[in-house]
Structure 1
Amino acid sequence: MSAPRRPKPRHRHLTRRDFLRRAALGSALAGGLPLLPGCGSSDGLGGRGSGDGMAAFRHGVASGDPLADRVILWTRVSGVSAPTTVDYVICTDAALRDVVGQGSVVTDAARDYTVKVDATGLRPATTYYYRFSVGAVQSPVGRTRTAPQGALARLRVGVVCCSSLAHGYFNAYRRLAERADLDLVLHLGDYIYEYGSGEYGDVRAYEPAHEILTLDDYRTRHAQYKTDPDLQELHRQHPVVAVWDDHETADNAWRDGANNHTEADEGLWAQRKAWGVQAYHEWLPIRTPEPARPERIYRRLRYGELADFVMLDTRLIGRDLQAALTGASDMNDPARRLLGAEQLAWLEEQLAAPGVTWKLLGQQVMFGQLRIPSLPELSALTGLPVEQLQTLLQGLPIVSTGGLVINTDQWDGYRAERMRVFDLLETLGVENPVVLTGDIHTSWAMDLARDPVNPLVYDPLTGEGSLGVEFVCTSVTSPGLDPLAEFAPLVRLFNPHMKYVDLARKGYLLLDITAERVVGEHWYVETVSEPGGSESFGAAFAVAAGTRRLVTAEQTSPKPDAPALAP
């Protein structure tokens, strides 16, 4: 979701050396050469690595992308300035007595002293505990879980997105970390934000203080995020499956540029994007699908016979420029792409792949249609001045058409591409598709129909005509549309396929998955303005297998006998 567009500070100028380095990488990218290694390491505590030989694990541990026999384990070594050997141990007990795996890896400045181990030889559907060490220095103990094989009774999955450090504290991460019965957590993007201190939010200051542009900048920002205790605890307790959105590079990014990038002042977009991508792969526990093409992040993770998690990229690899910046008529251009032809063909293969009950599509921007009245009409309905509404929507790529306001950054701006996905769902006979979405900093639950305002296509009372359902997760901290919160019923009035809308509260989505149904629960934290606080249940909606429509549901119960959390 876009932040208000503001003039950029001009305190950061490119030197001739900066320009030559950027131009060199831009040429390398154009020629298909591999990314260049970095020139140093950030310690996430306000400066560079000390190089004094005193190793430390300041950024915690993490795991991710579980398969039935393996999982990615991650950490980062601070305080060193030469190639460093890192040992690891994997156990079945939290006391680390029952060792089932161990090994050593070497990290260095080329990977910013991060460590990623693809730990193999593990058993399906099993909780493991792990720890890293450098000599006598030990990391915290982490906890992870492999994916299941075969029949599976139930899954519990946390879903999060949009954690602007400048807008508050990550209490949602902490509440999820405390849920011992989760099988995994999905992060749907905006894991970091690229702004400088005070440019978008002012609760906490950023490191570095300026907008991040270079590889070292992106590494330093990731390092700062990884010192947050709530984020560290989420990663320590649960495996995370992550995809990026726009702020991991720059606001409202697309294939060849971004709203928050000006090449005349900030260098080649291709280089900035490549550096953001490189730092992301270094600092996240992600299994890179194609190491020679790190810009490809879309991938599938199978969870037994119950679910496929199909993780998409609607941001960097295939997206054309938003229609609000090219012309409103472009929304209907059949040539416009959001996924791109290659990713769409890959998606078709995943949707057609047999063997599971549910196809869950983890992606970034709202798939279902969202229409709101024109600003003058919305002003008359809400009593809010047009000027205030314009401020709320400032920076969003919106257009007015047919008396309605459309956000062209989401699938509404890529209508032909959405129809291609609808065609796949229909022609392949996908019985149980569930779209999972982040980006918009608000909570939604809706049926997915080709034309939800046409009663000949979709019946909101029976759900007839729906081809799937969508759960949109609110943000961890990033601001929603609080002044419009009381008018959520008005939004639903203009969008009959929507069953739930909350425009203000922060938190996470909890999925409870069985062969019979998927329940999506919206949970909200008490505050983001300070650490701690309680959480509360908001609402639950369910889709029964084979129905492709949402109904209201009751809150689910935790799984019994959950494995112990890491100590």
Structure 2
Amino acid sequence: MAKSSTNRRTFIIRLSSISTALAAGSVLSACGAGSEDDDASSSAVPISFRYGVASGDPLSDRVVLWTHAKYGDFDAISDDVELTWEIATDAGFTTIVSQGKTTAAASQSHTTKVDATGLRPGTSYFFRFRHGSNLSPVGQTRTLPAAGVQNVKLAVLSCSNYPAGYFHVYAEARRSGAEYALHLGDYLYEYEAGGYASQDAQALNRMVEPPHEIISLDDYRRRYAQYRTDPDLKQLHASMPMIAIWDDHEIANDAWTDGAENHNKATEGSYAQRVAAALKAYHEWMPIRLDASGVQSKIWRSFDFGNLLSLHMLETRLTARNEPVSISDLANPATAAQAQAELVSPTRQMIGQEQQAWLAQQLQNSNATWQVLGQQVLMARMEFPASILQHLNAENMDATAQQAAIAAIQAYLTAKATAAQAPQLLTPEQAALLDPSLNPKIGYNLDAWDGYPAAREAIFQTAYQLGKPLVVLAGDTHNAWHSDLILLDGTTKVGEEFATSSVSSPGFEAYLSGIDPALIQQAFLGVIDSLKFLETQKRGFLLMEFTPEAATGSWHAVDTVKSRNYQAQQLHTASMLG
């Protein structure tokens, strides 16, 4: 279309928008005459900041600011929007300390990000965007502290599934006293309407958009836009900076370098194109700083909170991860040897050599009291005897399998208790259950680090040899965990893992609905010696508090995500001493 026609069409749409607003009695209070530095021809049209504001990736002197801005009716005008951003020390913006220009471009889904520099360490600020007298909501953000900080609080979050329920957990995280939010992935889900965890979506008025599984760039953009309409998520973003990393569902379930469980090349096209679309949308909609290389998949990065803690964010999905080994292949005598060899191969990758070398350098260079890994999946060894796992695994969760799993759990725990209290009473069958050569232990979830033991050991050995105990933060499972991190020698401790439950995605209470949650908890705690705490049926978040003396995790939960009314509680607290 010729430019003159485009300008005429835009003028007509804007005139129509103004006429409609005047007819409705609106005073257009957010649509003033504009300022000298804004587009005067556009300033008469209201600017929609429908998805609020956000900030993220804070450093000691800067932070990324984000918003989405569009002219008039959301679907009416696709022009770029020129904006001014402002940072102030007060909510009234009487003392503006930094400001500049940015563009919410149509080519970027009308999102914009600014890396606002020249800020003071450990300082809280207010920020906003404006177009003439059109003002965005006001957000609050905070830079990272400098040396001498004695206390840092992080709200650790994971697995927010829009159709599964309300985002009450975000509201509680905002009220928790945390200064920074840490999102460990599955910020959104890719499934179609009626897909995973959607049985109550219609009743809750939380049907996904678009209604089909998201594959294209437009699909991913529309899904992010829908999630950003949630008031609790918008308020969380507006109240504190977020440090985020993706997991699999930002792309497709159980993703790896060359494919995903939930991607069918025959019907859904190129996986590489899908990944490219997903990453572009992620960088558009999340307040994340693009790596200097410009490579969107390179999002491993570190954050130094003075000399108190160094937070190292890891990318475990797209850079180097090999395809998961199947539990069925491990259990099948015809394929077990090959699958086992693949599982324990020293070349099997989770984060890749480049990221491993980067992490080793970061750990070596850091003088912080705490070395913290922010990443997606459980690092602690969650290995179950094959006698249980043949019935209790993600590949078969039907009622018959669950009943068989209950019997297998009870048999193993009885044998273990007998061996501890009266070994002379062990039957041959019980002895066989406890013999690892006859009943080997296998990771219950091979999509986690249990499926990549050599890659995990490389990280553990690096930290151990440097004399730097690890605090590992994890999400993904929709349940809350606290574990010791042990080398493959079975005895040497290298740190502790604190893992958060989910914002709304269901946990073991849904996957294993035929098994009493108390029995699930008993089974894990009884079988896995390094496991210290497990909660199997509540949605929630993890509040991590760091001081020079201790890293303390407090697990918080809500009693329901299916009702607007809910109660919150603190479930458990545990500390790792420095």
Q: TM-score surpassing 0.5? A: yes
Residue number in structure 2 paired with 1:434: 471
Matched, 1:185 2:181: yes
Residue number in structure 2 paired with 1:160: 157
Residue number in structure 1 paired with 2:228: 226
Instruction: Report the CA distance between 1:298 and its aligned residue.
Output: 0.5
Give yes or no for contact 1:68–1:123 (8 Å, CA) kept in 2: yes
Structure 1 pair 145/376, CA: closer, same or farther in 2 (3 Å)?
closer
For 1:75, which of 67, 75, 78 is the aligned residue? 67
For 1:518, which of 548, 551, 562 is the aligned residue? 551
Length, aligned pairs only: 474
Q: How does 1:54-65 map to 2 (within 5 A)?
A: 54-65=46-57
Distance between the aligned counterparts of 1:100 and 1:531, measured in 2?
39
Give yes or no for contact 2:343–2:453 (8 Å, CA) kept in 1: yes
Q: How does 1:486-525 map to 2 (within 5 A)?
A: 486-487=518-519, 488-525=521-558
Matched, 1:294 2:296: yes
Matched, 1:330 2:342: yes
Can you list the C-alpha shifts for 1:341-379, whole angstroms capped at 9, x where unaligned? 111011101111132110110001110111234466887
SS in 1 for 2:232: helix
Give yes or no for contact 1:62–1:236 (8 Å, CA) kept in 2: yes
Q: Runs of 5+ in structure 1 lacking a partner? A: 1-50, 393-399, 459-464, 546-567
Amino acid at match of 1:539: H
Amino acid at match of 1:386: T
Matched, 1:529 2:562: yes
Can you list the C-alpha shifts for 1:191-225, whole angstroms capped at 9, x where unaligned? 01000111112222101000000000000000111
SS in 2 for 1:323: coil
Structure 1 pair 540/378, CA: closer, same or farther in 2 (3 Å)?
farther
Instruction: Report the CA distance between 1:172 and its aligned residue.
Output: 0.4
Matched, 1:370 2:382: yes
Distance between the aligned counterparts of 2:367 and 2:261, measured in 1?
41
Q: How does 1:117-136 map to 2 (within 5 A)?
A: 117-136=114-133
Give yes or no for contact 1:375–1:386 (8 Å, CA) kept in 2: no
Give yes or no for contact 1:426–1:467 (8 Å, CA) kept in 2: yes
Instruction: Report the CA distance between 1:291 and its aligned residue.
Output: 4.8
Q: Which runs of 4+ in 1 moved over 6 A?
A: 377-380, 389-392
For 2:448, which of 405, 410, 413 is the aligned residue? 410
Structure 1 pair 251/379, CA: closer, same or farther in 2 (3 Å)?
closer
Distance between the aligned counterparts of 2:341 and 2:234, measured in 1?
45
The 10-residue stretch of structure 1 (316-325 or 211-220) with the greater mean CA deviation from structure 2: 316-325
Give yes or no for contact 1:315–1:364 (8 Å, CA) kept in 2: no
Distance between the aligned counterparts of 1:246 and 1:100, measured in 2?
39
Can you list the C-alpha shifts for 1:455-510, whole angstroms capped at 9, x where unaligned? xx42xxxxxx2111000110001110013421202211110111001111101000
The 10-residue stretch of structure 1 (480-489 or 513-522) with the greater mean CA deviation from structure 2: 480-489
Instruction: Report the CA distance between 1:136 and its aligned residue.
Output: 2.2
Give yes or no for contact 1:87–1:103 (8 Å, CA) kept in 2: yes
Distance between the aligned counterparts of 1:339 and 1:253, measured in 2?
13
Q: How does 1:370-389 map to 2 (within 5 A)?
A: 370-374=382-386, 385-388=399-402
Distance between the aligned counterparts of 2:146 and 2:403, measured in 1?
50
Structure 1 pair 471/116, CA: closer, same or farther in 2 (3 Å)?
same
Residue number in structure 2 paired with 1:91: 88
- The structure with higher relative contact order (CA 8 Å, sep 6+) is 1
Instruction: Report the CA distance between 1:534 and its aligned residue.
Output: 2.4
Percent pairwise identity: 39
Q: How does 1:137-286 map to 2 (within 5 A)?
A: 137-179=134-176, 181-202=177-198, 203=201, 204-286=206-288
RMSD value, Cα? 2.3
SS in 2 for 1:270: helix
SS in 1 for 2:533: strand
Distance between the aligned counterparts of 2:141 and 2:522, measured in 1?
41
SS in 1 for 2:545: strand
Give yes or no for contact 2:385–2:439 (8 Å, CA) kept in 1: no
Matched, 1:472 2:499: yes
Instruction: Report the CA distance between 1:278 and its aligned residue.
Output: 0.6
Give yes or no for contact 1:331–1:408 (8 Å, CA) kept in 2: no
Instruction: Report the CA distance between 1:138 and its aligned residue.
Output: 1.2
- Which of the pair is proportionally richer in helix? 2
SS in 1 for 2:493: coil
Amino acid at match of 1:504: Q
TM-score (norm 2): 0.79
Instruction: Report the CA distance between 1:292 and its aligned residue.
Output: 2.2
Structure 1 pair 379/338, CA: closer, same or farther in 2 (3 Å)?
closer
Distance between the aligned counterparts of 1:518 and 1:390, measured in 2?
40
Can you list the C-alpha shifts for 1:222-245, whole angstroms capped at 9, x where unaligned? 011111001001101010000000
Distance between the aligned counterparts of 1:293 and 1:369, measured in 2?
32
Distance between the aligned counterparts of 1:218 and 1:491, measured in 2?
37
Give yes or no for contact 2:389–2:444 (8 Å, CA) kept in 1: no
Matched, 1:349 2:387: no
Distance between the aligned counterparts of 1:475 and 1:164, measured in 2?
9
Distance between the aligned counterparts of 1:544 and 1:526, measured in 2?
31
Structure number, greater radius of gyration: 2
Instruction: Report the CA distance between 1:88 and its aligned residue.
Output: 1.5
TM-score (norm 1): 0.80
Distance between the aligned counterparts of 1:290 and 1:283, measured in 2?
19
SS in 2 for 1:407: coil
Distance between the aligned counterparts of 2:534 and 2:105, measured in 1?
47
Distance between the aligned counterparts of 1:401 and 1:94, measured in 2?
63
Give yes or no for contact 1:53–1:81 (8 Å, CA) kept in 2: no
Instruction: Report the CA distance between 1:408 and its aligned residue.
Output: 1.1
The 10-residue stretch of structure 1 (327-336 or 136-145) with the greater mean CA deviation from structure 2: 327-336
Give yes or no for contact 1:60–1:140 (8 Å, CA) kept in 2: yes
Distance between the aligned counterparts of 2:387 and 2:400, measured in 1?
6
SS in 1 for 2:358: helix
Distance between the aligned counterparts of 1:207 and 1:480, measured in 2?
24
Give yes or no for contact 1:277–1:295 (8 Å, CA) kept in 2: yes
Distance between the aligned counterparts of 2:550 and 2:132, measured in 1?
49
Give yes or no for contact 1:155–1:514 (8 Å, CA) kept in 2: yes
